[in-house]
Amino acid sequence: MATTSRWGQWGTLLAGLPYDVQAALYNRLADRTDLRAAQCYRLPLLYSTTRLTVAAAGTAQANWRFLSLTAVYGLSKTFDNETVQAAGVTAGMSGLTAVYPSEVDLQINFNQGATTWIGSQAEPAQLGILGSAEAATRVDPICATRDDIWDLTLTGTAGLANNVFATVCLHGVKIYNAGGAI
């Protein structure tokens, strides 16, 4: 049976994904002679860190370990602020100190720390740039292969008034075949 898809045998599997995600996954799948497209399927990726505690000038670390070929194309966060009352304030809202996601630096790297994807000393990124739990920030797709580990570091600025709590979530799609992870 002849196929008319731009992506050859992978057309059905990739259908409905954003074009750039289709292209990224096709580049990983096109030369795989050990796979039959008809036996592959995709699942959504919603992969979150645990709730991390970030203190002033402190760091919190987490990682994601990928179980199969995955295309990540979105990031989001949750951010919980625990305010403190100034000394001598007994009640009410006065004296509470707000904290913002822009006071937390973000870094994501992979290849055992050799490749920085988001944030670094030379190119800092702040947690405030990521979308919220209601709307992910769309990013150019990047593929992770089976058993890849990506590391996340959150660092509170020295001026951070309170401990804050955050999670970071990856959004995308993961590919499996009938035999399991690929």
- Which one, of 6, 36, 129, 1, lies nearest residue 74 by Cα? 129
Residue 5 has pLDDT above 90, yes or no: no
Q: Please name the residue ranges forming H helices in 55-164.
A: none
pLDDT per residue over 47-73, tens digit each? Answer: 999 999 999 999 999 999 999 999 999
C-alpha 125/C-alpha 104 separation (Å) is: 9
Q: 87: domain range?
A: 41-181
C-alpha 7/C-alpha 28 separation (Å) is: 12
In a domain, 9, yes or no: no
What CATH number is attached to the domain comprising 177? 2.60.120
Torsion angle, alpha carbons of 62, 83, 101, 120, to 10? -50
In a domain, 125, yes or no: yes
In a domain, 71, yes or no: yes
What is the number of domains present in the chain?
1
C-alpha 143/C-alpha 114 separation (Å) is: 16
DSSP-based helix, strand, coil % in the chain, nearest 5: 15, 45, 40
Residue 1 has pLDDT above 50, yes or no: no
In a domain, 35, yes or no: no
In a domain, 174, yes or no: yes
pLDDT of 86: 55
pLDDT of 83: 64
Q: 55 is written with which tokens?
A: 């203190």
In a domain, 67, yes or no: yes
In a domain, 62, yes or no: yes
3-state secondary structure (DSSP) of residue 31: coil
Q: Is the pTM of this model over 0.75?
A: yes
Question: What value does the mean pLDDT of the chain take?
Answer: 89
C-alpha 21/C-alpha 14 separation (Å) is: 8
- Which one, of 132, 71, 57, lies nearest residue 101 by Cα? 132
CB 151 within 8 A of CB 59: no
In a domain, 34, yes or no: no
pLDDT per residue over 88-146, tens digit each? Answer: 555 555 556 778 899 999 999 998 778 999 998 788 899 999 988 889 999 999 999 99
For the ranges 100-104, 121-125, 162-166, 173-177, the one whose mean pLDDT is highest: 173-177
